[in-house]
Amino acid sequence: MQADLGHPKPRKFEGSSSRCAATSTSNGCMINLNPDSDEEWLTYEKLTEIVFLRSKAKSTDHRSAFLRNNQAKSVDVIRHQSAKLAKNKSIVLKNAAQPVVFDKRADGDKATENVSPLPLRASLFPRVSPYVLFQSHDHIPKKLPKDFARLLKWKFTTSMPRVLIKILISSGYQVVNKGTDWSGVWNLSSKDTARYQRMKSFQKMNNIPGSENIGNKDLLWTHLNRMSRKFGPQEYNFMPRTYVLPKEIQKFESMWSRHGMGTTWIIKPPSAGRGQGIKIVNQWWEIPKWHSVIIQRYITRPKLINGLKFDLRIYVLLTSINPMRIYVYKEGLVRFASVRYVRGANLSDKYMHLTNSSVNKQNPAYVVNDGVNSFKGHKWSFASLWSYLRQERVDVADLWSRIKDIIVKTFISVESSMNATILQSLVSSYTCYELYGFDVLLDESLRPWLLEVNILPSLQTDSPLDIAIKGPLVKDVLNVAGYQIPKNEQISSNGVCNKKYDSIGHNYRLYSTALNLHEKTKQNEINAMQTRDEYLDGILQNLTRDDLRQLIRYEDELSQADNFEKLFPTKDSYLYFKFFEVERYYDRLLDAWEYRYSDNRKEGIRRLQRHCETMQHLDQATD
């Protein structure tokens, strides 16, 4: 099958789904919503407020003009109008006195006429607060009650991609610069663990403490190399041989003297991304021996399509490290170099050797893909790649299975270090989650190689293909992560608390990491068991309050997976336990749950629902 890498015809975007992140005011001004500019965003907020007030004032002027024009009317007509206005006022007051209206997905209440349901979805379980229902980026938002709208606030940061801003606005959120009553934030990753401790119980961010262990190339290699020495290359040999300089300069020099002549290596900064600072070398004098870099064996025989190198950007969501819960997005991006690959030639040509879109789109020959199922351009979807490979009689299912194995083993390699950092930083399991970008390259034998893992992968939407993949991706990430509204008492700054929505507000108890004596005793007993057969049935016999909370969060999360595929836990994930430094209680709990209910989730959910009806997940009672 011959893919078309020629220049496609210019394509006019249609519909709101393909608009740039810009909006217009009533006077025709265009405001760019690029999150890289705080000033532009503040201008947008201010102009939006001005336009709203202007339209409100305009409406008032119309009513005033109406009264002036009717001053000459008879007294009887005026009395008739007054009676009509009084009747309308009584209707308004009657509607205002109606009970809170929720989307039936929130708690089962039916919406009344002329009132928009709240953007909430129900938990699978009674006595568990509903979650915000995030809409697609092109959804047209409905006006929400003011007292509810004030509960949906998102803290603005310059790292917010435009598609995220669109989704937040379409879901009813206000993006704010000031205050501490926000419930969500999209931040750059940071080693500053104090910022997690400063967060309030109802606030959630997109970073997990300790993620530098997987996102920094030097630390990632250190963990994977340790696992390779422990379990052998047959299990952990999926990242090209890497040296951390200057720390391992002597090892590298020794290797070079024996095998380095004629080999090609790629040099990368430990924590940079988007192709920054990358250099490909095959001469000793080209290597920066005393700089803080990694030097990695270059795969000189990659799989090519139409003569071009490519790699896969795979989106992976980690919602918890203990217990480990991993999801992989079924779609992703296939990123092509924009110059035909010639082995050993033109090592300085970044358009030939690098596949980063941020690099190649600077090439005048770069072609933008015009759709998810298209074979045009220098960026494809997974759907297009799998279709192409199947026509070459490649076993795509087996290839995808090997890639998923790499993802799980990578997280296991950093689990112990990340868990130690989390224990020092978090007091609530609600606080964080993280989306990662795994970069995988296929060699000519279709063996997958992990090149690196990106923290905060690019979610910029520069093409119809980007919008089609990243728009649903971000929506699914937010829904799986599970955001809840705060209670008014948690955000009230003036001492006046409107408790209208407190019954469905965030309940911190469901996410507390504190254990009572009974829970600690049970966990110690299960952790002391040496084999799977010992704990498989017993761990589910007497579910503690903490067990119920873990299982409730897991099932609610899983119900929103949509385009995500769950990698861990599964009914077979116990096979990975041998790679863990320590088998943890919660991993054993979910293993036993999957073993019993993976083929009959409804039965497991009904069991948990019965416990929730008596509020056993919130108080001291146990099974």
Band of residue 29 on the pLDDT scale cut at 50, 70, 90: very low
Q: Using CA atoms, how far apart are residues 432 and 203, in angstroms rounded to an integer?
A: 9
Q: What pLDDT score was predicted for residue 497?
A: 57
Q: Is the pLDDT of residue 3 over 90?
A: no
Span 126-149, pLDDT tens digits: 999 999 999 999 999 888 998 899
The pLDDT, as a whole number, for residue 535 is: 96
pLDDT average, residue stretch 458-487: 95
pLDDT tens-digit series, residues 166-205: 999 999 999 999 888 999 999 887 777 788 888 899 999 9
The alpha carbon of residue 9 and the mean position of all alpha carbons in its chain are separated, in whole angstroms, by 33
Whole-number Cα distances in Å, 155 to 78, 89, 140, 182: 50, 38, 21, 6
pLDDT of residue 44: 42
pTM (two decimals): 0.82
Between 243 and 498, the higher pLDDT residue: 243
Q: Where are the domains of the chain?
A: 513-618
Contacts with 322 (C-beta within 8 Å, 6 or more apart), sequence order? 415, 419, 422, 584, 586, 587
- Strands 324-329 and 174-176 come out as unpaired
What is the band of 376 on the pLDDT scale with cuts at 50, 70, 90?
Answer: confident
SS3 for 330-382 is: CCCEEEECCCCCCCCCCCCCHHHHCCCHHHHCCCCCCCCCCCCCCCCCCEEEH
Residue 31's pLDDT band (cuts 50, 70, 90): very low
What's the pLDDT at 488?
74
Backbone φ and ψ for 340, nearest 5 degrees, come out as: -55, 140
Taking only the tens place, the pLDDT of each residue in 254-307 is 999 887 777 999 999 887 666 677 899 988 898 888 889 999 999 999 999 999
Q: What is the pLDDT of residues 407-461, one digit of tens each?
A: 999 999 999 999 999 998 888 999 999 999 999 999 999 999 999 999 989 999 9
* pLDDT value of position 470: 96
pLDDT tens across 316-367, in order? 999 999 999 999 999 999 999 999 999 988 898 999 999 998 899 899 988 9
Residues 360, 352: Cα–Cα separation, whole Å: 9
Q: What angle do CA 309, 225, 453 make, to 5 degrees?
A: 45
